[in-house]
């Protein structure tokens, strides 16, 4: 394996031509790179904008995740003005090997059968639950339930109180079987003995980086993909710029694989002239392939928060300070859960503070989350300059009928019931946000929408779909419609959002993409 942050060679020399060129060494890109290089006859280049995560304790220690947000390893995307939501959300995207799996809390849910079946109904033929289930078994990540030593007492008491207050069952092993409702400790991709991540990079790349047994894998670290190289309608390579400013073209003998995530994949496509022609022409970007769906269908898991001050300090043991969660099904006709909560063993007050609330010294939070948000936003360019960040308009809470807003209101009411139940109640001193005096639905809605945040799950911006879907960007084989020699494999291809945290779904997309490329059969 070779790693470089310097200047690659001149065109045509060894080191600039590969069988596959992968843009993004993140969650899916790490999987694909590892799987392709199992064949020693294939050469693979991975272009990663961030540094290696090897020996980075600030990255590899799971419980340090919060310190990564807004730091040197964060691309720090923001939203456009959100008239019914929060216009001040920082959409963290990781700038490090392993991508967001090196940056997030590694909550690990196999997407529910209804999630995959919804994809097939949306035109992603072959992506139904039965077809996708085997890929979960292929994952190399160490997916385990939060260890007993990390199950602190307040989270344990919260689980017990939730069962009593809401009548939901405790789930021990959320990935053991499909569920509609339940409360319990999460499954995480981590190593409990030392709190180290089992991210995509740790699980799929580190063994080979450390052993040096993949000379056919070439990592271009701290290197930015600036533009795709097209020959007519065939992708031939990727233009890159290294840390020291040197520019180069990496050519792909077989295919280019774009795995840069739901923000940077459509961004790269549009700067390469692939996207809605009218928008690109208005910015002076030469159109190479008119594809109107690029950047459309921006989806997320919006959530808000209720915060309590506790009577004193919390127990010190935890896996990552949000170790347990709750799923509720309000609508009996809904497929899967329609309301979710993370339980934070910290007072999560970043947004309430902006509204005038004070952060308590000791506190906890519940975060009502919308598993199937009905908002559909858009990502678009505002400049032909690739250094200018794209605009992200999530259109939070602008869905017809206010389904999303009502989901948060229902969530606050359920959370208050939990707070009244023992043994959780004994920990609590007072409700900080929205505050016990806020009881009117309209008031609750106004406050929790303005204090809403993201759990960093943007998706859908290059969605997969059927041939007659005018806004589908990729076909079910992940190839970009109308182009040859190029595929996309990351959260941008999601037609719809899984009800659960999507990281495992992205890993499974990576495994399926690798199978599509190599022809192996997991069934």
- Neighbouring CB atoms inside 10 A of 425's CB total 14
Could you tell me if 287 and 84 are in contact, meaning their C-beta atoms sit under 8 angstroms apart? no
Catalytic position from the list 301, 342, 453, 457: 457
For residue 228, give the nearest of 219, 220, 217, 236 by alpha carbon.
236
Q: Is 328 annotated as a binding residue?
A: no
Cα separations (Å) of 166 from 123, 149, 186, 329, 420? 37, 27, 19, 11, 11
Distance CA(372)–CA(115), nearest Å, equals: 10
- In this structure, the strands spanning 377-380 and 363-369 are unpaired
Question: How crowded is the C-beta side of 16, counted as CA atoms within 13 Å?
Answer: 14
For residue 507, give the nearest of 125, 139, 204, 254 by alpha carbon.
139
Residue 412: helix, strand or coil by DSSP?
helix
Distance CA(227)–CA(188), nearest Å, equals: 36
Residue 189: helix, strand or coil by DSSP?
strand
**Which residues fall within 8 angstroms of residue 220, CB to CB, at 6 or more apart?**
4, 5, 8, 45, 46, 47, 48, 240, 242, 250
| Full 3-state SS string of 380-395 | ECCCCCCCCCCEEECC
Looking at residue 357, the DSSP 8-state letter turns out to be: P
Per the annotation, the verdict on 208 as an active-site residue is no
Encode 9-44: b = buried (16+ Cβ within 10 Å), e = exposed: eeeeeebbbbbbbbbbbbbbbbbbbbbbbeeeebbb
Question: Active-site residue numbers?
Answer: 457
Binding residue numbers: 96
Binding residue numbers for FAD: 96
């Amino acid at each position: 394996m070779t790693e470089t942050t310097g200047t690659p060679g001149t065109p045509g020399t060894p080191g600039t031509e590969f069988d596959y060129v992968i843009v993004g060494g993140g969650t899916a890109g790490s999987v694909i790179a590892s799987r392709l290089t199992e064949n020693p006859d294939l050469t693979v280049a991975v272009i990663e904008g961030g540094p290696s995560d090897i020996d980075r304790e600030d990255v590899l220690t799971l419980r340090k995740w919060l310190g990564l947000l807004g730091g040197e390893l964060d691309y720090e995307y923001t939203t456009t003005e959100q008239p019914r939501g929060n216009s001040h959300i920082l959409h963290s995207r990781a700038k490090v090997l392993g991508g967001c799996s090196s940056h997030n809390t590694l909550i690990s849910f196999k997407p529910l059968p209804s999630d995959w079946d919804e994809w097939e109904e949306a035109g992603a033929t072959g992506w139904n639950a039965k077809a996708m289930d085997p890929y979960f078994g292929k994952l190399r990540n160490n997916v385990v339930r939060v260890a007993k030593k990390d199950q602190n007492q307040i989270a344990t008491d919260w689980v017990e109180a939730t069962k009593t207050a809401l009548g939901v069952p405790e789930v021990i092993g959320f990935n053991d079987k499909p569920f509609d409702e339940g409360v319990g400790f999460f499954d995480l991709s981590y190593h409990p003995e030392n709190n180290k991540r089992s991210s995509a990079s740790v699980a799929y790349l580190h063994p080979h980086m450390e052993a040096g047994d993949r000379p056919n894998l070439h990592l271009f670290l701290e290197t930015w993909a600036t533009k795709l190289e097209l020959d007519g309608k065939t992708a031939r390579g990727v233009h890159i710029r290294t840390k020291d400013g040197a520019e180069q073209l990496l050519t792909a003998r077989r295919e280019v694989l774009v795995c840069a995530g739901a923000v940077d994949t459509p961004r790269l496509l549009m700067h390469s002239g692939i996207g809605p022609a009218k928008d690109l022409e208005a910015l002076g970007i030469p159109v190479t392939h008119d594809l109107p769906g690029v950047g459309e269908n921006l989806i997320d898991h919006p959530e808000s928060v209720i915060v309590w001050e506790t009577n004193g300090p919390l127990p010190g043991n935890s896996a990552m300070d949000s170790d347990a969660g709750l799923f509720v099904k309000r609508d009996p006709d809904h497929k899967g859960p329609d309301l979710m909560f993370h339980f934070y063993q910290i007072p999560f007050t970043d947004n309430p503070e902006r509204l005038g609330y004070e952060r308590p010294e000791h506190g906890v939070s519940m975060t009502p989350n919308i598993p199937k948000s009905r908002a559909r936003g858009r990502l678009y360019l505002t400049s032909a300059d690739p250094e200018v960040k794209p605009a992200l308009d999530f259109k939070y809470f602008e869905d017809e009928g206010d389904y999303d807003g009502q989901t948060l209101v229902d969530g606050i009411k359920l959370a208050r019931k939990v707070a009244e139940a023992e043994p959780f109640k004994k920990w609590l001193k007072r409700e900080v946000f929205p505050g016990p005096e806020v009881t009117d639905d309209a008031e609750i809605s106004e406050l929790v929408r303005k204090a809403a945040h993201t759990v960093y799950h943007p998706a859908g911006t290059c969605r997969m779909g059927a041939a007659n879907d005018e806004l589908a960007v990729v076909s079910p084989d992940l190839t970009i419609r109308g182009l040859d020699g190029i595929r996309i494999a990351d959260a941008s291809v999601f037609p719809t959002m899984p009800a659960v945290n999507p990281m495992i779904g992205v890993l499974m997309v990576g495994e399926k993409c690798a199978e599509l490329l190599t022809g192996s059969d997991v069934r």
